[in-house]
Amino acid sequence: MKGTFIAIILIAMSVTQLYAQTIKGTVRDNKGAPLSGISILVKGSNIGTSTNADGAYTLTLSETAKAGTLIFSGIGYKQTDISINNRTEINVILEANDVGLEEVVVMGFSEVDRKHIASSVSQMDMEKIKNRPIFKMQDAFSGTIPGVTMMRGSSLPGSVPGTISIRGISTLGAADPLVIVDGMEQSIHDIDPNQVKSITVLKDAASASMYGSRGANGVIIIETDRGQTGQFKVYTNNWYALNKPIDLPKFVGGAEFMKLRNETLLHQGQPAVYSQEEITRFESGERKDVNWLDEIMQRNSTALNNNVSVSGGGGVGTFNLMLGHIKENGLNDIEGTQKFSARFNTNINIADKFVLMADFYAHRLQVDRLMANDDGHGLYKLAWRMNPTQAVFYDVDRPDPYILHNNINPVASITRGGIQNNMYDRSTINLRPKYNISRNLNIEANVSYMINKSAEKLERKTFKFFDENNAPVTIWTNSVSATQGVSESQLTARALINYNKKLRKDKDKIYLTAGSEVMNYTYTDYREISKSSFFGKLNYSFDNRYILELTGRSDGSSKFAPGHRWGFFPSGGFAWNVHNETFFTGLLESGAITNLKLRASYGLIGNENVGPYLWQESVNNYGWMIRVPNPEFSWEKQKQWNLGLDLTALNDRLSFTAEVYRKMSYDLIYDQFSVPPLTGSNTLVSAVNIGSVENKGWELSANWSDKAGDFSYKIGGMLFDNRNKMLKAGYTDMDSLIFKGNNDRIWYKGIPINNYYGFETDGFFQTREEIDATAAKMPNTLPGDIRYVDQNGDGLINDQDRVYLADPLPHFNYAINLDLHYKSWDFSALGQGIGKRTGRLMGQEAYPVYVDGNSNNLGAPRVEYVASHWSPENPDSRFPRLWTGPTSNTLLSDVWLSNAAFFRVKSLQLGYTFPKIGRSFKNFRIYLNAQDVFTITKWEGLDPERIDVDSPGTNDGNGNYPRMATYSFGISTSIY
């Protein structure tokens, strides 16, 4: 029996030797140097080896593997898959990863060589971004990509810092660009920069039309990091940050406040309210000024970020597990945010030709707020309404003797006003199977599902307020509640076929993509949105000189009225690689010019970024109609052309790109169009397609890099501008449109889509005699009040005298960046600015009191206002007189417009890298970073990036969570 068993083993071994095949070869880089430690694996199995010190390898294959594929991979090099085809020797040249990332661009469900692109596409340098203390992904777009603006309007923990705009505003609704993450539509502020491999921005119609109805505001394509074959690696990036408030208001002190208030009341014919004795007590220091902002900012704001990724893989596939945690404390002991995220990306080689990419993502965001500060700004608005004479506590011996001033005490709101806990959960699963029919042809599918959930909990315990004599004043009663937010689910299914092949002996190359897509959004409040699409894209490079790019997409959306739900969005582009012409050979070989491409594109794209059911009739709880149906309601459309030039010169040390474009958006969607009321109704609105707007602009960007020994540097800059103009405000050229709920916003032909429309002024009234001699004035005018221009000469000041005042959009956007490297040291700097912009001073940033439309007497004036306000001694002042009570001085006029141009140092960073520590720690880097530390501006408000048109819901000038400068220390390293 024993002999029989041995015989069977020997026979099996003989058969194995008979059918086994040995394959060998060498692996080198593109300069011919041998590469050691390169992993070679048989795709779909764990059979593999690695190269020796000479770059050589030997691998024994089974019979079934002879027709398989070898995967060559190594750290710092682009993975290469090569079919065996029964060969016994395969020699390979691997390209460095950095070259590959620059050469291949992800766009429109496929990858295209950059040299074969005819449209306007930009990529972000992710290495610079990952080392900055970025809390939200939007911050990465400040000053980094030409044509893209991001005004940082908020430093509030857990908030969206600002809105990204690509080539201006072309719509009345939400102007946010479409964000695609690994082929799946997502929100950009959920993305952790540490998990991102590349960011591509599609700016023109030829590139964005692959996304049809969702591409009118531009498209941002994000690819997250994936594992690499044969490499088990741990990477971690951690930083700790201190946030320091900047641009805080400076209000006058107690004694000055009382003097000014008395002067104001006497000027208005009212009695003074503060005695000289009270003023003297503050002047002598017997009573101390109260800085209410200092009182509520109880601690330094700090942040901690921890990220780790574990990646690796073999012949059966790769994986990358990325874990993130970021915690940011607010300025008091209660408020702050904390986010946990996990992303698991896998590539599974199920068979030689079949690959499944299965990605999973989940995060939880916890936001802690005060009930008095549920939007994050309310506490600061309350503090701004206080004045320096108002004390926090009574001087009595009892716990928490808070004083209520007009039923307000911001410090009491922190300790006794109650807390609000918010939780936001997101989970996604993204499956992308791919079958390679041949080396050039594959079919792909994509099924993804995302669900968003939210909940909030509020709690406040009963607290009784007493006056100085222990008499009851009021009670903040017990309040406890918990609610579940509206949940949203997103289901997407997509089918693709991709074909790319080199033709005519590698002179030509074709890329062809076609497919269809369905999307469904379901909400727990019974809303539902459905979309369906068919699309195709062709890129053809002829002789690597002439490039043709054609795209067509047909979209259908349930948001629009029946019969108007489908739209077709075509585009085309052409490019000429001039440097590949024979007449260019001399310049090319000399290195004077190594790349010169001219591009042109034109296309039609759409916008359906509105709510559902707007075309239908709506009624209120009483059965009265409040929305009139519109059976013609349909797509917003945009025509766009783009011309571009790409230049690389002086032996690749200089790169330069120039763009010029025009976008014309028409059939704009306005969902609050007023309709004459019918019987039984108060106000009626309807959703209509109305008006058209033009955006014209240009973009310039340049980079210079060089190296001398151990020192290398790179300096770059960009300058771009966009001009926005209404072409038609209604259905005819003569129509004008005043927006519902905002009398200061108006449309008519020739002015920007956002504009300041108000009164021109002619100084200030100086005397009572001047006022009495002027027919055109506002009621109750006093000396020091604004003198408005009577435009039509009818002796009245009313809405008929309002005119276009200024364009609030940013112009001449620019950025400068610098990178220095010396041995293991590195230094980088980024500065961003706006060359021309007009902003509106509003609220207490502008006025000497809090204008509530009632008493108008809360708060104290800013020091800057007091220094420049009108008085008989200062008649040629910047601002009108001080006031309380009703006034006409707050009307939108040119008095309240100010120069909002600025230059800001966005980031300064110094780092040092240890190439190796011990056996496992590689590229161990420590760095210091300072962000938003220095600003040059003539803006008379607080923060030139935070003006009303950027975030009209919060930037009303009456108090905000402060803008922060961030100072951080970080460590990053790889372990393998």
pLDDT at 2 > cutoff 60 = no
Q: φ, ψ for residue 839 (rounded to 5)?
A: -120, 160
Res 147: pLDDT: 94
Q: How confident is the model over 676-703, as a mean pLDDT?
A: 85
| Res 6: pLDDT | 47
Residue 632 main-chain phi, psi, to 5 deg: -105, 5
Q: Is the pLDDT of residue 578 over 60?
A: yes
Phi, psi for residue 805 in degrees, rounded to 5: -105, -45
Which pLDDT belongs to residue 242? Answer: 96
The string of pLDDT tens digits covering residues 772-789 is 999 999 999 999 999 999
Q: 721 and 697 in contact (C-beta within 8 Å)?
A: yes
Share of the chain above pLDDT 70, in %: 95
pLDDT band at 611 (very low <50, low <70, confident <90, very high): confident
pLDDT at 949: 62
The amino acid at residue 874 is: N
pLDDT at 15: 38
SS3 443: strand
Backbone angles phi, psi at 537, to 5 degrees: -145, 140
| DSSP code per residue over 505-544 | TTTEEEEEEEEEEEEEEEETTS-EEEEEEEEEEEEEEETT
Evaluate the CA torsion angle 539, 542, 548, 550 in order and state its sign.
negative
Cβ(626)–Cβ(607) below 8 Å: no
Structure tokens, 322: 């990325």
pLDDT score of 229:
81
pLDDT at 33: 86
Give yes or no for residue 966 having a pLDDT over 80: yes
Is residue 296 classed exposed, middle or buried when 0-12, 13-18 and 19+ CB atoms within 10 A define those classes?
buried
Q: At 5, is the pLDDT very low, low, confident or very high (cuts 50, 70, 90)?
A: very low
Characterise 161 by phi-psi region: left (phi > 0), alpha (psi -120 to 50), beta (else). alpha
Q: What would the mean pLDDT of 262-288 be, rounded to a whole number?
A: 95
Mean pLDDT of 334-357: 92
Q: What is the largest CA-CA distance in the chain?
A: 129
In words, the CATH class of domain 19-95 is mainly beta
* Cβ contact 583:531 at 8 Å: no
- Mean pLDDT for the chain? 90
Query: Which residue carries 């800057």 as its tokens?
Result: 864
Ordered DSSP codes for 447-515: EEEEEEEEEEEEEE--EEEE-TTS-EEEEE--EEEEEEPPPEEEEEEEEEEEEEEEETTTTEEEEEEEE
H-helix or E-strand spanning residue 283: helix 276-283
Confidence of residue 109 (pLDDT cuts 50, 70, 90): confident
What per-residue confidence (pLDDT) applies to 718? 97
- Under the banding of pLDDT at 50, 70 and 90, the label for residue 679 is low
pLDDT grade for 795, boundaries at 50, 70 and 90: very high
pLDDT for res 13: 40
For the cut 60, the answer to whether the pLDDT of residue 314 exceeds it is yes
Neighbouring C-beta atoms of residue 525, cutoff 10 Å: 8
Pairwise CA distance, residues 45 & 351, whole Å = 9
**pLDDT for position 22:** 84
Average pLDDT of span 349-363: 91
Give the Cα separation of 491 and 431 in Å (integer): 12
| Per-residue model confidence (pLDDT) at position 101 | 36
Q: Which two tokens stand for residue 82?
A: 């090569």
* Residue whose tokens read 């604004």: 786
Please say if the pLDDT value at position 18 is more than 50: no
pLDDT of residue 21: 76
Do the Cβ atoms of 806 and 755 come closer than 8 Å? Answer: yes
pLDDT in tens, 823-832: 999 999 999 9
Cite the beta strand spans of 51-88 per DSSP E: 56-61, 69-74, 77-83
pLDDT of residue 221: 94
* Model confidence band, residue 9 (pLDDT cutoffs 50, 70, 90): very low
Q: How far is CA 526 from the centre of its chain?
A: 29
Give CA–CA dist 732/743, Å, rounded.
Answer: 21
pLDDT digits (tens, 9 = 90+) for 242-264: 999 998 999 999 999 999 999 99
- How much is the average pLDDT of 107-116? 85
Given a cut of 90, whether residue 935 has pLDDT beyond it is yes
**CA–CA distances in Å: residue 529 to residues 178, 184, 491:** 17, 17, 11
What is the pLDDT, as a whole number, of residue 301? 95
SS3 at position 97? helix
For residues 713 and 698, what is the distance between their CA atoms, to the nearest angstrom? 27
Flag whether pLDDT at 73 surpasses 70. Answer: yes
What share of the chain in percent tops pLDDT 90? 70
C-alpha pair distances (Å), 666 with each of 557, 572, 729, 798? 18, 20, 10, 32
Q: What is the reported pLDDT for 16?
A: 40
Between 740 and 645, the more confident residue is 645
Residue 371: both structure tokens together: 């009930």
Distance CA 842, CA 953 (A): 13
Q: Residue type at 740?
A: K
| Burial (Cβ within 10 Å: 0-12, 13-18, ≥19) of residue 294 | exposed
| Residue 577's pLDDT band (cuts 50, 70, 90) | very high
Q: For residue 425, is pLDDT > 70?
A: yes
Instruction: Using DSSP bridges, classify how beta strands 178-181 and 219-224 pair: parallel, antiparallel or unpaired.
Output: parallel
Which segment of 193-207, 340-354, 670-684, 923-937 scores lowest on mean pLDDT?
A: 670-684
DSSP reduced 3-state for 771: helix
Residue 294's closest CA among 249, 241, 243, 254?
Answer: 249
Task: Let me know: does 508 contact 545? Beta carbons within 8 Å.
Answer: no
Q: Which two tokens stand for residue 433?
A: 């199977």
The predicted structure's pLDDT at residue 849 = 95
- For the domain 99-224, what is the CATH superfamily, name and number? TonB-dependent receptor, plug domain (2.170.130.10)
Please name which of 747, 759, 766 lies closest in space to residue 791, comparing C-alpha atoms: 759
Between 254-267 and 276-283, two packed helices, what is the crossing angle to 10 degrees?
A: 150
Q: Confidence band (pLDDT; 50, 70, 90) for 65?
A: low
Cα-to-chain-centroid distance, residue 394: 46
pLDDT (mean) for 212-236: 88
pLDDT digits (tens, 9 = 90+) for 691-718: 999 999 999 999 999 999 999 999 999 9
Instruction: State the pLDDT at residue 261.
Output: 96
pLDDT of residue 161: 84
In the block, which residue shows the tokens 């002067």?
263
Q: Cβ-count burial of 964 within 10 angstroms (0-12 exposed, 13-18 middle, 19+ buried)?
A: buried
d(CA 4, CA 599): 76
Among 3-7, 408-412, 540-544, where is mean pLDDT lowest? 3-7
- Please tell me the least confidently modeled range out of 461-465, 670-674, 709-713, 724-728: 670-674
The pLDDT, as a whole number, for residue 3 is 53
Tokens 């599609």 correspond to: 202
